Amino acid sequence: MQIYDLLNNKISLKAFNVFVFVSLFIVIFSGLYYQYNAANHSTSANFHNNNYNKSLEIREKFRLIFDKLEYQFIQAEAENLEKLDLLSELYGNQKENFDLKNAENILNKNVQFGKYEIFMINKDYIIEKASYEKEIGLNLGQFKIVKDLFDDMFSKKIKVDISSPKLDIDSRLKRYLIKLSGDQKYILQIGFSLDYSSEINKQLHYLSSDKSKTSLYLATEFFIQDIDVKSGDFKSKDEHNEYCRKVTKEFLLDINIALKDPKIEQLANIDTRTISLNKALEKIIPLNETLISFVDKQDNIVNFYSATGSLFGKESGTLLFIKTSFPLAPLDKSLKNNLNTFLFITILVLLFLIIFECFKQKQITSKITSITKVIKNNEMINDETSAIKDISVLIDSYNQMLSELNYQIKMNKELSYIDSLTEIKNRKAYDEKIEELVSLYKRYDTTFSIAIFDADDFKEINDTYGHSFGDTVLKNIAKALQSSIRNGDMVYRIGGEEFIVIFPSTTLEESKTVIEKIRKKVDISLNTENKVKVTLSIGLTEISAQDSKDSIFKKIDRFLYVSKGSGKNCVTSG
């Protein structure tokens, strides 16, 4: 549909109505869609900000909890150095007969809070003896930091080393103290620990609900560990280590969804026991600052990771990561409500516009459109009436004008088919008629014959006697042809001195007789004045299945030229 005619600087009523309707709907829809997007953005932002703030609150609560744990731990470990000296003394007295269990009992005597454990590491960095039997056989030399520390201890560069307090995988807060045995065969190590698992689990249960879930992860020198998982849940140390490696990789890949840091991806794909993992993470992850968040589409939750600084001082080997997960179902529900509201209002607006358009269409547009359609088809307006005076006047004026116009068109059309010189039908009339006859032949097998006539040596006649005489010859040829054919036959002047006669429902053989009579009649009747020799060369054929409008003309034209070449004043057919 053409909305605007640049050439005539006009616009159609129907197109204009559609244009206005669509434009109005687009404008209103765009406004509603803008509001819908703004509402979605606001809803999503509020959801994110609320949960972000909740995650910050949870981080601060856990920091307070661990500050309390540190204070309790410091109070309980006042005798650590004395216990290390006591262990060294007990080993010096017993040596080969050294009983670790007995020594452990002695160290834990009268200890009200916490527990001491004993480890003996040989020069191959292997835990050879331990009161905590699961650690026996562990090769600590695989950890470079520990190996360097033990080397300094065996070389007596360091007499005593005290580690920073750390949370282990079983939620026990530990500090390790080491010194070289008197016989320099072992590094004696005591581990003082307080079990805070019940306190931590209580807080985790308190902070988790149907609307959120809180998980704690510890980043140590070697692994990232889920604080909920205990070492006692595994059958062996290897199984436990494999689990820790898996958790470490999954955790790092998880937070890297948001951070997209190639360094974290590298950490996830190496053996973290060969590096100081917690120190590496301190350089990459923003600690005690903004939270790391991303959407887990598979579980339909949003995760917030809050990374604290080192627990229990800068020298601690432990970082705490608090993961708070919130289901996206409430957000999805709110967004769905926004969508439903948007669709409801959009449908209401659309219905209103449709009702308004129907009203306008019925009262005004339909009548003008119907009249326009009739006018476009050049028909009289007979079935349309209107109570509007202007439209009635328009209908009457149009009908009168169309009647006059049709009469003039009819007259002009008839004149356009007549050759002005000979007053027989012209080339235009021939083209239309031959196309019609070919079509009828194709559909109904209605045969016809066709002949082309050309005045021989007509140029010489014009040059010798003048064009006026030549025009007279052409008129006489036309009259001779008209007087020689049947009522149903048709004669045309198609240009210059060429004429065509069509014989409907006539075979080639039947038409040959007529053509020959015409040739002879022209030869006799037109050669009585001025002693001018006027003859006709003729090409004749009958339509065949392969013929078209153009091919049949080419065929008779070819036969005509054969007649010309055969001495003229003859008929060639085929």
pLDDT for residue 1: 46
Of 478, 513, 505, nearest to 494 by C-alpha is 478
What angle, rounded to 10 degrees, do the helices at 329-360 and 13-76 form? 170
Report the relative pairing of strands 224-226 and 213-219 from DSSP bridges.
antiparallel
The sign one gets for the Cα dihedral 109, 111, 114, 116 is negative
**pTM recorded for the entire structure:** 0.51
**Token pair of 197 as six digits:** 């698992």
Class of domain 77-195: alpha beta
**What does DSSP assign to residue 196?**
-
Q: Do strands 498-504 and 490-495 pair parallel, antiparallel, or not at all (unpaired)?
A: antiparallel
One digit per residue, pLDDT tens: the chain, 574 residues?
455 555 556 666 667 777 787 888 888 888 888 888 888 888 888 988 888 888 888 888 777 777 777 777 777 677 888 888 888 888 888 877 888 888 889 988 888 778 889 999 999 999 888 887 777 888 888 878 888 889 999 998 888 988 877 766 666 778 888 999 888 889 999 988 877 666 677 666 776 666 788 888 877 777 887 777 777 777 777 788 888 888 888 888 888 888 888 888 888 888 877 777 877 887 887 767 778 888 888 888 888 888 776 555 555 556 778 888 888 888 888 988 988 998 899 898 888 888 887 877 776 677 677 777 777 777 777 766 665 666 677 777 777 787 888 778 777 777 788 998 999 999 999 999 999 999 999 999 999 999 999 999 899 888 888 899 899 889 989 998 998 888 899 999 998 999 999 999 999 999 998 898 888 888 777 765 556 788 899 999 999 989 999 999 999 999 999 999 998 999 999 8
Q: Which residues contact 468 (CB under 8 A, 6 or more apart)?
A: none
> What is the residue type of 189?
Q
Longest dimension (CA), the chain: 166
pLDDT at 309: 66
Identify the CATH homologous superfamily for domain 417-573.
Reverse transcriptase/Diguanylate cyclase domain (3.30.70.270)
Amino acid type, 121 = I
Residue 422 tokens, joined: 């000979």
* Overall residue count recorded for the chain in this entry: 574
Compute the distance between CA of residue 446 and CA of residue 440 in angstroms, rounded to an integer. 6
**How far, in whole angstroms, is CA 169 from its chain's centroid?**
47
The region that residue 463 occupies, defined by phi over 0 for left and psi between -120 and 50 for alpha, beta otherwise, is alpha
Place of tokens 């937070």: 255
What is the spatial distance between Cα 403 and Cα 394, in angstroms, rounded to a whole number?
14
